[in-house]
Amino acid sequence: MNKYEKYKNILVAQPHSRVLQITLNRSRARNALSKKLLAEMADALTIATGDDDVRCVVVTGDHKAFSAGADIKEMPEDGIPMFADAERLRAWKTIEQFRKPLIAAVNGYALGGGCELVLLCDIVVCGKNAQFGTPEIKISAFPGDGGTQRLPRLIGKARAMYMILTGAQINATLAYEWGLVSEVLPSDQTIARALEIAKVVSEHSPIALEMSKAEVLMSFSKPLDESLSLERQMLLWQTEDHDEGIASFIEKRKPKYTGR
């Protein structure tokens, strides 16, 4: 794990085979997303992309905050929005384009950029103490790290408008009812549950996981007739992993996937 031990703003561990855990590590700042933190997370995900020992990643914070948002102390004085900063943009784009499954375990606050980071995750579980929100309107701003586009696609226009235009926070129960999270748990079980899901995910073919994620995400950006992409889906049936999956099912044994 030496390749993941160089960071100061995140902690990286591998609690299960093929599962990586990234913990945001700025507790005193409620895990505010500084440029350095985002750059470190992007770097860790870049390494994980090429690491065959990683098939799924869990990202989490601490009990009080997943992340309370962008680091206001880094807000520029020249009037240019901080989300337009080139370094931040590169980091966000790397996180957005991460091909492997990304699971969020949320406790406490997930506000502003923290909520937008949640929106980039593929599966989200949260504790009963979780609070989600886009409070940027309160400082005459808006969620510019993708929130204005991803939030309405996920929970619908009216609900997204409510969150963005009022800046109000929603609790875990409402987040579940609105489809922002898939499960609500006691806060001391959140990370364990996310890791449990990640362990199940990581047992599947890595090429099938990446292709399945890509296909689902395509539905948010392309018309239905284009995103159906039958030709692309058929490529999965030509892989060694697909042959292994069929053989292991017939032979009643656990499959041994290689990602080919």
Per-residue pLDDT of the chain (260 residues; tens, 9 = 90+): 578 878 999 999 999 999 999 999 999 999 999 999 999 999 999 999 999 999 999 999 999 999 999 877 766 554 555 566 788 899 999 999 999 999 999 999 999 999 999 999 999 999 999 999 999 999 888 888 889 999 999 999 999 999 999 999 999 999 999 999 999 999 999 999 999 999 999 999 999 999 889 888 887 776 656 655 555 555 656 778 878 877 887 888 888 888 88
Query: Residue 37 to residues 87, 123, 137, 163, 183: CA-CA distances in angstroms?
Result: 11, 22, 24, 26, 27
Do the strands 18-24 and 54-60 form a parallel or antiparallel pair, or are they unpaired? Answer: parallel
Residue 186 DSSP SS3: coil
Of 202, 197, 210, the C-alpha closest to 239 is 210
Neighbours of 93 (CB within 10 A): 10
Of 86, 74, 71, the C-alpha closest to 33 is 71
Angle between helix 147-155 and helix 157-166 axes, rounded to 10 deg: 140
Say how many Å lie between the first and final Cα of the chain, rounded.
24
Structure tokens at 21: 């855990």
pTM: predicted TM-score of the whole model, two decimal places: 0.89
* Cβ atoms of residues 12 and 20 within 8 Å: yes
Superfamily of domain 2-202: 2-enoyl-CoA Hydratase; Chain A, domain 1 (3.90.226.10)
Please spell the DSSP secondary structure of 74-143, one letter per residue. Answer: G--SSS--GGG-HHHHHHHHHHHT--S-EEEEE-SEEETHHHHHHHT-SEEEEETT-EEE-GGGGGT---
| Region for 101 from its dihedrals, namely left if φ exceeds 0, alpha if ψ lies in -120 to 50, beta otherwise | beta
CA–CA separation, 40 vs 177, rounded Å?
A: 33
CA–CA separation, 224 vs 211, rounded Å?
A: 17
For residue 240, the model assigns a pLDDT of: 84
Residue from 44, 108, 116, 198 carrying the catalytic annotation = 116
Residue from 70, 91, 110, 160 carrying the catalytic annotation = 70
For residue 231, the model assigns a pLDDT of: 52
Residue 70 annotated in active site = yes
Q: In which residue are the tokens 């395509």 written?
A: 218
For residue 78, the model assigns a pLDDT of: 44
Residue 136 annotated in active site = yes
For residue 74, the model assigns a pLDDT of: 67
* Cβ atoms of residues 232 and 215 within 8 Å: yes
* Cβ atoms of residues 103 and 16 within 8 Å: no
Give residue limits of the domains in the chain: 2-202, 206-250
Residue 113 annotated in active site = yes
Residue from 42, 136, 160, 175 carrying the catalytic annotation = 136
228 DSSP 8-state letter: T
Residue from 61, 108, 113, 114 carrying the catalytic annotation = 113
Q: What single letter denotes the amino acid at residue 250? A: I
